[in-house]
């Protein structure tokens, strides 16, 4: 199911001291995997559905698979771990599925969606035929307030400056240092303001700085518990 293509072409870009990896045609049979992962997105639970206050399910939908391990993913995690030199905690299937209602709450023209950091390298495989709404890196101008992700997810463009956009493409993996750069999904048009979901698969790793120096805390860091481990849970 999660079989990688043979002879993957790995593109490396040095950006502000870290390497961004881009690999096109990542999975051998992405359509089979897409059907497996995303065949019933409205049936997936809302992410952090018990959070209060929250507008998830009101003005937007952020849906995820319930955390579960899949040992077919071991070769994928090991491949990515060798690239970045960081470890992973478990072989979880992690997904992001998001769409929005046409409402003034979702002011994508003047705001960015929830800039945040994670514990180390992030891998994102895009499953939409889309070359616009990928992933942004930001420079933090004004510190993010301590608010619920799903209560106030949109941050003014006066607070965060885009310094890099990772362009999406169907079955493309982007792999980057999610601890170094505040980042989040780029919503640049109203494509996902209807029936279609923006959907991807995500991989999380943990850097030594997160584990040793910060002890798991950063003002832009959000975490949620998966099984007995720690993993990240914001929309990439």
pLDDT tens by residue, 73-128: 999 999 999 999 999 988 999 999 999 999 999 999 999 999 999 999 999 999 99
pLDDT tens by residue, 20-30: 999 999 999 99
Both tokens assigned to 165: 């956009």
What is the rounded CA–CA span in Å between residue 136 and residue 122? 13
pLDDT above 90: residue 231: no
Residue among 7, 10, 33, 30 nearest 21 (CA): 10
The phi-psi region of residue 216 (left if phi > 0; otherwise alpha if psi is between -120 and 50; otherwise beta) is: left
Q: Locate the domains of the chain by residue range.
A: 10-215+224-231
CB 96 within 8 A of CB 185: yes
Strands 160-166 and 224-226: unpaired
Which numeric CATH code is attached to 10-215+224-231? 2.60.120
């Amino acid at each position: 199911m999660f079989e990688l293509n043979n002879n993957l072409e790995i593109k490396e870009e040095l950006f502000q001291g870290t390497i961004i990896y881009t690999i096109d045609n990542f999975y051998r049979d992405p359509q089979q995997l897409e059907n497996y992962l995303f065949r019933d997105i409205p049936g997936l639970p809302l992410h952090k559905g018990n959070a209060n206050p929250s507008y998830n399910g009101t003005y937007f939908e952020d849906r995820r698979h319930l955390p579960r391990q899949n040992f077919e993913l071991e070769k994928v995690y090991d491949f990515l771990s060798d690239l970045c030199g960081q470890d992973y905690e478990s072989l979880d299937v992690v997904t992001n599925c998001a769409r929005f209602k046409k409402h003034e709450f979702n002011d994508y023209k003047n705001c960015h969606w929830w800039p945040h950091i994670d514990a180390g390298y992030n891998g994102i495989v895009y499953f939409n035929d889309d070359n616009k709404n990928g992933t942004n890196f930001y420079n933090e101008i004004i510190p993010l307030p301590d608010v619920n992700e799903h209560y106030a997810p949109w941050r003014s463009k006066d607070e965060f400056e885009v310094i890099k956009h990772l362009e999406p493409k169907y079955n493309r993996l982007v792999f980057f240092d999610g601890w170094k750069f505040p980042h989040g999904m780029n919503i640049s048009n109203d494509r996902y303001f209807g029936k279609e979901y923006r959907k991807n698969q995500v991989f999380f790793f943990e850097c030594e700085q997160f584990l040793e120096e910060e002890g798991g805390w950063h003002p832009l860091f959000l975490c949620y518990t998966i099984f007995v481990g720690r993993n990240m849970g914001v929309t990439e």
